[in-house]
Amino acid sequence: MTEASLTYRWSREGFVRAWEAGAFDARVEYVEGEVVPVVIGDWHGLVTASIVARLRHPTVTVTQSTLPAAGSLPDPDCWVRRRGAEPVGRVAPRLPEWNPDDVLLVVEVSDETVTFDLTTKARLYGSAGCATYWVVTREAVYVHTEPTPDGYRHRTELRPGDLVRAPYLDADLPVEALIAVES
């Protein structure tokens, strides 16, 4: 006998109401109608902190807040917006929406979710119009550029020894500096 799998599909509004009411006892994000758990291990946390520090610049704000994108509410590991940019709307009182022209870079540090980040999340951020999206893994940095309604037109895989262009810094960062964990 085969069991049918029933997956509950949330509306964005239903998820926001549940989130505001404190219904979730762990960190989660809302992606394409599903509530997805967010797992952060030691490597992930250390690399994220290092990347946040490297991306700071007086002309931008680096944040780790939810970034509404294409009807979903993903929680990128960090993202960069123009300093002084104002929200263009609100999903909820604590969830602002941003003009994609003000979102300069979105970063996912990917340990256990590489496929999800390279496919589903790339589609979300690209269709939302986010100009540049990085997926940082233990072995490489995947740089997505030229957003389209279906994701991104270009994806480049960069390995240690390569340089990653930080679009608003007008500078290159060594891949090994982004993926390494300092002890």
Q: pLDDT at position 180, please?
A: 85
pLDDT tens digits for range 49-106: 999 999 999 999 999 999 999 999 999 999 999 999 999 999 999 899 999 999 999 9
Domain assignment of residue 35, yes or no: no
Domain assignment of residue 128, yes or no: yes
Q: pLDDT at position 1, please?
A: 45
pLDDT tens digits for range 106-124: 999 998 899 999 999 999 9
pLDDT tens digits for range 131-153: 999 999 999 999 999 999 999 99
With cut-offs at 50, 70 and 90, classify the pLDDT of residue 182: low
Domain assignment of residue 153, yes or no: yes
Average pLDDT, rounded, for the chain: 92
96: containing domain: 40-179
Domain assignment of residue 94, yes or no: yes
Domain assignment of residue 71, yes or no: yes
Q: How many domains does the chain have?
A: 1
pTM (predicted TM-score): 0.92
Domain assignment of residue 11, yes or no: no
Nearest CA to 30 out of 22, 48, 18, 41 is that of 18
Domain assignment of residue 170, yes or no: yes
CATH number of residue 85's parent domain: 3.90.1570.10
Exposed, middle or buried: residue 114 (CB in 10 Å: 0-12, 13-18, 19+)? middle
Report which of residues 8 and 55 the model is more confident about.
55
Q: How far is CA 116 from the centre of its chain?
A: 11
Domain assignment of residue 6, yes or no: no
Exposed, middle or buried: residue 118 (CB in 10 Å: 0-12, 13-18, 19+)? buried
DSSP lists the bridge partners of residue 61 as 81
